[in-house]
Every structure is written in C-alpha cells, then in structure tokens.
Amino acid sequence: MSHSNSYLMTLDCPDGVGLLARITNFVASLQGNFTEVNQFTDKINDWFLARFAFEIERESTLEEIRHAFAPIAAELNASWSIRDGGKPLRTVLLVSKEDHCLADLLWRWRSGELNIEIPLVVSNHPDLRPVIEKEGIPFLHIPIPQEPAAKDIAFRQMSDAICEVSGELTVLCRYMQILPEWYCEEHHNRVINIHHSLLPAFAGADPYKRAYDRGVKLIGATCHYATGELDAGPIIHQEVLSVEHFHTPNDLRRLGRDCERLALARGVRLHVEDRVVVHNSRAIVFGD
C-alpha cells in the first residue's frame, strides 16, 4: 500500500492534440485532484513534457494507478513515471576527501529540507568515515585501483552495493573518480554530479590559480546527470558568482565551493521532487 495519497507523475511524448485532456481525465477517473501542473511543449522538436502532482482520496495502491495508466501511456508513445510523492528517495552518496558538498547535503537531509533517506555512503578514501558514522549512516570504503581490470571490479562492487540497499539515486559529492560508461548506463539519469566552471579551459592541477592568473570574471558550478562522456550529461542546475579584481586564488576556491554546494543541493532537490524531465540530452526543469 502507498505511504500517502499524493503522487508525482512525469511524462514526455510526441506532441499532439488533447494530451492534457487525456491525463486530466485519467486523474479524474481515480477521483483525484491536481495540486500542481507543469507542462512544456518543445516546438522545435514537437515534444510534450510535463509534471503533475495529484492527490487521490480513495484507497488505491501505486501498482493499481500505474497499471491503469499504462494503456494510455502506450497510446501516447510516452516515457513516464508515477511514484508516491510522500516517500523519501533512497539516495546513496559518493565522496572522496573533500567534505563541503557532503556536509551541506547531510544538513539538508537532517533538517528535512530534502525528502531523502541515505542508506549508504561510499568512498574511495577512509578519511570521512568518522563524519558518516557519527550520523548513523553505513560507510563503505572501496579503493579504486589504477589498473583497468581491478578498477572495473571495484566499480562493479560499488554498483552492487548500491543495488543491495535499493538505491534510487546516486549523488557524487566531489567524488574524484570518473565513472565508467557501463555504470552510467546501468544507472541512467539516476547519477548526479557537479563540475566547476573552470572546465575545460583550466583542466588539471590548481585550476583556481590559473584562473586567477587569467583574470576570470565569473566562477560557477554545473549540476548534471553523469554519462559516459565526462561532464557532458543533461544539465539540471547551474550557479554563478562574480569574481572581483581583489579576489585571491583562495577566494576563488571559496566562491567555487559555495557554487558547488548550492548547485548540487538544488539539483538533488529538483530530481527528488521529480521536477526534471530528460529528453535526449536536454533536461527540462520545472522549478519549485
């Protein structure tokens, strides 16, 4: 039985006449009531994308609702999901040594700002174990070797661990490893990452010092879904701050951390609330 009577539906399909009517009639047939409706028609690609929040007063299971909608979705040739809007999303965090993004997400989780539960934190270093275990969250240390075959085994171990705890979302909190393509495909649009705005112009060691030397005027961070192509997945959210002439490289690092924290937290919140609908390589975001 569902944990609440509130549900979230996302849908994308070829544009056509009467799409909204089909969906509103479906919810009405369940004696349901919409609490939020977001829709967008991509005129360039003739594509319809939407998010609906609705409540149903009568007793219905999530499986029953999904089963009833499946024939309609098939007629519309739609990609879709319906889930319990009150149920926390099981979210696994990946970390390395830096803790600013981790600390921010843990605070938002603890305060109830993010509707998630954290069944596991995985790291390629042991440094943050005390922080995690203090929160009562299981910590798994999986070193990532350099040798390709051993590295692949380590990532498969991590993927298995996420599946074992029924992880629905994986968030890279400054996890300093490149995920293999097969991993991103297996967890398609369910892995969130961030990268700073100094890429690709200032890739490599100490990008903030080299950005300072070039006199950059803006610094930011991009939150996106992870794909096999590094930092090229659909963009969920971006943050940017101005750089002043008196800012030192350490100031740039501080501003960069601020952007990373906020971009990641905002991106996770949007995903958790099913406000992101991905079509091809583009993410349509229905803001809150």
Please compute Rg for the chain using Cα positions. Answer: 21
Are 277 and 237 spatial neighbours (Cβ–Cβ below 8 Å)? no
Among the listed residues 15, 127, 231, 258, the single catalytic one is 231
Active site residue 104: no
In residues, how long is the chain?
288
User: Could you tell me the sign of the dihedral formed by the alpha carbons of 232, 241, 255, 273, in that order?
Assistant: negative
Are 142 and 244 spatial neighbours (Cβ–Cβ below 8 Å)? no
Close Cβ partners of 281 (under 8 Å, ≥ 6 residues apart): 233, 234
Tell me which H or E stretch contains 45. Answer: none
Rounded to the nearest angstrom, the gap between the alpha carbon of residue 284 and the centroid of all alpha carbons in its chain is 13
Cα angle, residue 170 at apex, residues 187 and 277 outer, rounded to 5°: 65
User: Could you tell me the sign of the dihedral formed by the alpha carbons of 285, 286, 287, 288, in that order?
Assistant: negative
Strand duo 89-95 + 169-173: pairing: parallel
Determine the Cα–Cα distance for residues 166 and 247; give it in Å rounded to an integer.
Answer: 44
Burial status of residue 223 (CB atoms within 10 A of its CB: 0-12, 13-18, 19 or more):
buried
Q: Which residues are catalytic?
A: 231
